[in-house]
Chains A and B, each alone.
Chain A
Amino acid sequence: MRVELLIVAIALVACDGDRRAPVGPVRFVHTFSPPEAAALADLLGGAEVELTLLPFSRGEAVLGAALRRAADCPDLIRIDATWLPALADAGLLRPPPPELAERDWLPEAAALATWRGALAAAPMSLDGLVLVRSASEPAPDGWPPGDLDALEAMSRAASGPGRFGLGLRADGYWLVPFLRARGADVADGARHTLGIDGPAAEAALAEMAALYTDGVAAPAPAPGVEAEREAERFARGAIAILATGPWAFPDLASMGADGLTGLTVDAWPGAPRGGQLLAVPACAREPVRAWQLATSLTSPATQAAWSRRLGTVPTTARGLAEAGPLARATYTALAGARPLPQHPLSAALFDDLTPAVAAVVAGDATAGEAIAGVRRAWTRALEAAP
């Protein structure tokens, strides 16, 4: 970690020809989880960086408003890959320096950070949904599941008194594999396809909700405490198979006795894949130093160190080669996952899909009623989309 800190420190003080005196610390607004935020603080040490944490669920709205207002503008932002098209199309981001494009980015990472044919941000980590089990427990027969039916069968077999076969979140993002398995998908703004216009979407949502009503899926935690509740249940063996992403690894590791080595990861067929990016707003006061910090944070050495500590999946080939075993296994599991449609509309889709999933899981609505509402909302969104 000291090496990474040195790299960051050198990068922050290095002169690139612009001899203006720095006007203040680099203001870095991020959406890291608390363990990631702690690791970032350790990494930066005494470097002149002012950190501001945004919760992921409100990150896009708050950042978008702040960048449009251009007042009190951050210098560097850490965003979800689905936010990139909207921010870039609105002209709120600065293009990265050319040398950043020459880094040995993994193809999946480069694709996430590329918008309209050019690298628009520095990919920091890859994520998506995978299936997590405890390494100390025997794998179910036939593991890993080749499709959703196999996963459901294994989950039902693993269920029992005081133990749920599958851990899910009542969230639209978790519905995506169900949709894809049944021939539906989320709306694609680029292709103007609704994705849920057929009966397959209703079937997928009903199938997902049935896992809750049948006692196969663990009851959905209250919004805001999903990560902690999942980790607590998984640590005490109340969940056999947990569908989650690398963002949850630090919490799972901290609850378990064996840390990251106590987790084993496999692919969830049809799962979505995404990632986190570092971008510099157009209104940034210190763009040069911000890109230097982004370059440092995405260096292979830093990525490898973070992967060993937090399980995050690097976005560079060298970083992945030096990464920890859990990160490499996650990368392999995500190889078959598919990214969400890269379009400004994609991030907003879940504002409608997630409450629909929650309504059905809670028994407030049928799958048909819920999907109908989502369908109307997405149709309006597609009509309004450029």
Chain B
Amino acid sequence: MKGRSLTVRVVLVLALAALIPTLAIGALAFARTRADLEREVVRGHLALIRALGALLDATLQDARRTVELAAATWADGRTQAGATDDADARATGRLLARLDRDVPVIARVVIVDGAGAPVAGGALPAGVNLQARSYGGYVGDASFSDAGPQVPLVVQARSRTGELVGTFVAEIDLAFVAEALRGARLGPGATVVVVDGQGATVARSDGPTPVGQSLRGEPAVDRALGAAAEGHLSQRGQLAVYRSLSSYQSLRGVPWAIVLAQPERDAYAVAAATRRLTLMVAVIALALALALGAWLAARLTRPLGALAARADAIARGETTPSPPITGPGEIGHLAARLEEMAGRVGERAELQAALARGDRLASVGVMSAQVAHEINNPLTTVLGYAALLVEDKPADHPDRAGLELIADEATRMKQIVAGLLGYARADTADGSEPSSPAAVARHVAALLAPALRRAQVTLDVELADAPRVAFDSHALQQVLVNLVTNALHAAPGGHVAITWARLPGGHAIALDVTDDGPGIPAGERARIFDPFVTSKPAGAGTGLGLAVVRHLVARAGGTIAVHDAVGGGARFRVTAPIVAPDA
């Protein structure tokens, strides 16, 4: 659970680390993209309606200049000296025919004289105000009929002296505006409308022009007709870009406007696509980051979980070496240190158990020593009188056999008491002086050389490089004497070896006494170090030797255990802390 929690946390951190910059960059990209696109869309739409407005203006300008030239020519002809009415009428007819032929947008031309009387072309179009007397001419209000929208172009006919001779009124067919709008390359959903000052539709790009339909009330149209120049408006999901046409030369004073409207979803389709793509990339990137994070987290936490399990096992006292835990960097280092710590804990636990056992045995030793001391004196008296009584009785005396038995048993009791006193002496030995295992072993070999010869046992000592141990030399000598003696008893005519090995962690060594005898049965190994337990024939041992050995080893802070030797026999392993552990 802890490992999973850690994994979840690592994945969460990685997800946040991926998500936060993704969201921040994405939000920034969205905002910038939208703002830039809005600006560019508005700019592009404005450029388009400017171009359309310029086209309208250029056509009207051409028409106006042509009509102005015709009007000036006509006025000069009217004021020339000697001009006759017939000649003037013929000239006027030719002029109107040429205008009709050369200027396709002119539907009809009406000429009136300076007093407003008709000269040619029929009646004045409705709504034309000749009293305006505007110098340079003007474009009037649009009119709508079944033939389509038209607009009057009013041009004063002035002579070369500037004198007003008459007025030309040309009806401009505005179908060309609708054709221009329909020919414009508009974006999806976009429509362009040209309206006059009343908001009536003059032309539109998306179909035939509805006659007289007023778009007043449309926010963009109202804004356009009130604007001095151009602008844009976003409302109710529609983007509208508008321009007042009254700033164009031909339309000065004519509050017409051109409006391009497009649904925002179409106008900003690129932004939406970019947003979708960015979101998709972000989601994929996030998913990849999460997957990668999960994999990394699992890889990171798996050894941590093993470490936690190992720590739990150590806490339960399972300090025996386990399969190595591998991990990258610090985790591998931590695993190695944890295993090392486990070894030390195990050693420490064994040592503490040994100490506890030692304390227990020490109590037994003190008690045994007190008992032995109290028994020793009366026993000496018993043994002395038994010997005197045996000496006083002749060899065939019927009591002699009983007295000899009393003396033998007393002697045997004496040996037991001596063993108990030896146990007591071991308990009080001072183990503060470190010793060299090699030197002690050599001394033991010398002491036991006669016994080894008698038993025809060979002893190999391989302790040349063994470090000094925190083990009193006399105690260590007693330990080795006991173990080697047991070995030669167990393997007469065999082979005994004393070897050493450095334990993991480098804080202790193991001294092994190995024989090639019959070994210790597994069922007896648990009790073999208890006092008065022996595998020797009755009367051959006191059962205190290995108890004393374990007691001495425990006092020195070490341990002793018995194992099967390689190839048979027994191997007693004594661990002892070294004085200056190697790194």
Contact = CB atoms under 8 A, between A and B. Distances in A.
A373 B129 contact: no
A117 interface: no
Interface stretch (B156-164, B296-304, B438-446): B156-164
A374 interface: yes
Contact of B226 (A51, A60, A370): A51
Nearest to A365: B161
Interface stretch (B130-138, B373-381, B558-566): B130-138
A226 B97 CA distance: 35
Interface stretch (B245-253, B406-414, B427-435, B514-522): B245-253
Contacts, number: 108
Interface class of chain B by DSSP: loop
Nearest to A356: B162
Contact of A359 (B160, B244, B255): B160
Given A50-B222, A61-B129, A352-B164, 7 more contacts: A51-B227, A351-B135, A355-B158, A364-B160, A369-B161, A372-B163, A380-B114
B162 A59 contact: no
Contacts of A351: 133-135, 164
A373 B136 contact: no
Contacts of A357: 162
Contacts of B134: 57-58, 61, 351
A55 B222 CA distance: 19
Contacts of A223: 136
Interface in B361-414: none
A352 B136 CA distance: 11
Given A51-B228, A52-B255, A57-B252, A374 B163 contact: yes
A386 B179 CA distance: 49
B225 interface: yes
Interface residues of A, number: 44
Interface string A331-373: 0000000000000000010111011111110001100011011
Q: Which of A53, A62, A377, A380 has the most CB of B within 10 A?
A: A62
18 contacts: A34-B229, A54-B253, A55-B252, A58-B253, A61-B131, A61-B132, A64-B132, A352-B162, A355-B164, A359-B158, A359-B160, A359-B161, A365-B160, A370-B162, A372-B161, A373-B162, A376-B163, A377-B164
B163 A61 contact: no
A53 B228 contact: yes
A378 B316 CA distance: 125
Contacts of B162: 352, 354-360, 364-365, 370, 373-374
B238 interface: no
Contacts of B227: 51
A37 interface: yes
A65 interface: yes
A228 interface: no
Q: Which of A61, A223, A360, A374 has the most CB of B within 10 A?
A: A61
A238 to B, nearest CB: 24
Contacts of B163: 352, 355-356, 370, 372-374, 376-377
Interface string B115-143: 00000000000000101111110100000
Given A61-B138, A365-B161, A369-B161, A224 B252 contact: yes
A147 interface: no
Nearest to B139: A58
A34 B228 contact: yes
B198 interface: yes
A62 B160 contact: no
Contacts of A149: none
Interface in B219-270: 222, 225-229, 244, 246, 249, 252-253, 255
A194 B197 CA distance: 38
Contacts of A350: 135
Closest 8 CB pairs of A and B: A58-B253, A373-B163, A61-B132, A355-B162, A356-B162, A365-B161, A359-B162, A364-B160
